[in-house]
């Protein structure tokens, strides 16, 4: 894929690593292109059932590389906000392992993941105001995952949230010692792999597509997906394994 990210698939787990540590993993055109390719593989590769996204070095992602001089008329490469939206609509589980500072557009990768494991050294926030820049993700996503007064308290002062803040306010699923970050993310991935992949994806699909719907159509959508998953081979295998008191052998179909 290139040098801006590393991408590896092993045992049904895809590991995506932002790989511009000398630039604090700032998002430039090359990184967007390679992330787009990685996300497409996660979405369509039948050998990928779970993905982990992390960063190399001391920073997870510092946001957009404002010094990137590559021309923006490169057709077919998603913008920062488009790549976040693409990530949101991958219905396979995505775990974000936040190894350090996660700022500005970098926050979108965490907020559009399903599980967020943070190093105790990590932090989170939108510092754009201190640079004379407004924000898209802070007002549109931050104020939806945080209480209004909490979000504005951080946004309007360009202050970062500590890992403990993120755990307190529900952004982080778990905070772990720095050296335990990837092992913890892999533990979550392996526990997800113990469940039927189509059922897991179905729950994510129902939750994502129904997020902004009123309750009744949200439940109707979820029921439709339940009925679709019930036709799978894995559902039959799950019931049979339960009867036989053995571990199911999922096939993803």
Average pLDDT, the chain: 93
Closest CA to 42 of 94, 82, 78, 111: 94
Contacts of residue 229, defined as CB under 8 A and 6 or more positions apart, other chains included, come to 196, 198, 199, 202, 235
How confident is the model over 27-70, as pLDDT tens digits?
999 999 999 999 999 999 999 999 999 999 999 999 988 777 66
Residue 163: both structure tokens together: 């890992």
Token representation of residue 19: 């790989």
Q: Verify that 9 and 134 share a domain, yes or no.
A: yes
CA nearest to 169, candidates 208, 191, 195, 143: 143
Q: SS3 for 191?
A: helix
- Report residue 73's pLDDT band, with 50, 70 and 90 as the boundaries: low
Q: What is the mean pLDDT of residues 81-90?
A: 92
Q: Is the pLDDT of residue 91 over 90?
A: yes
Domain ranges, residue 110: 5-193
In a domain, 250, yes or no: no
Q: Cβ(52)–Cβ(186) under 8 Å?
A: yes
User: Are 69 and 37 found together in one domain?
Assistant: yes
CATH value at residue 90: 3.90.226.10
pLDDT band of residue 226 (cuts 50, 70, 90) is: very high
Number of domains in the chain: 2
pLDDT, tens digit, 9 for 90 and up, residues 102-116: 999 999 999 999 999
Specify whether 132 is located in the same domain as 58. yes
Question: What is the predicted pLDDT for the residue at 68?
Answer: 75
Least confident range of 34-48, 69-83, 207-221? 69-83
């Amino acid at each position: 894929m290139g040098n801006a990210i590393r991408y590896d698939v092993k045992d049904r787990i895809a590991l995506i690593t932002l790989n511009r540590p000398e630039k604090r993993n700032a998002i430039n055109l090359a990184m967007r292109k390679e992330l787009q390719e990685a996300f497409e593989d996660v979405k369509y590769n039948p050998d990928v059932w779970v993905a982990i996204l992390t960063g190399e070095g001391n920073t997870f992602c510092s946001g957009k590389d404002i010094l990137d001089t590559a021309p923006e008329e490169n057709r077919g490469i998603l913008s920062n906000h488009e790549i976040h939206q693409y990530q949101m609509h991958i219905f396979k589980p995505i775990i974000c392992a936040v190894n350090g500072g996660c700022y500005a557009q970098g926050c979108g990768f965490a907020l559009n993941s399903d599980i967020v494991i943070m190093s105790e050294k990590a932090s989170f926030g939108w510092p754009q105001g201190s640079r004379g820049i407004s924000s898209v993700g802070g007002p549109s996503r931050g104020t939806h995952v945080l209480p209004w007064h909490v979000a504005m308290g951080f946004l309007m002062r360009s202050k970062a949230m500590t890992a403990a803040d993120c755990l307190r306010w529900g952004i982080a699923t778990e905070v772990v010692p720095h050296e335990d970050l990837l092992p913890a993310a892999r533990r979550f991935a392996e526990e997800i792999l113990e469940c039927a992949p189509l059922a897991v994806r179905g729950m994510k699909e129902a939750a994502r597509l129904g997020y902004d719907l009123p309750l009744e159509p949200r439940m109707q959508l979820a029921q439709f997906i339940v009925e679709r998953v019930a036709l799978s081979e894995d559902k039959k295998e799950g019931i049979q394994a339960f009867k036989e008191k053995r571990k199911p052998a999922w096939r993803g179909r």
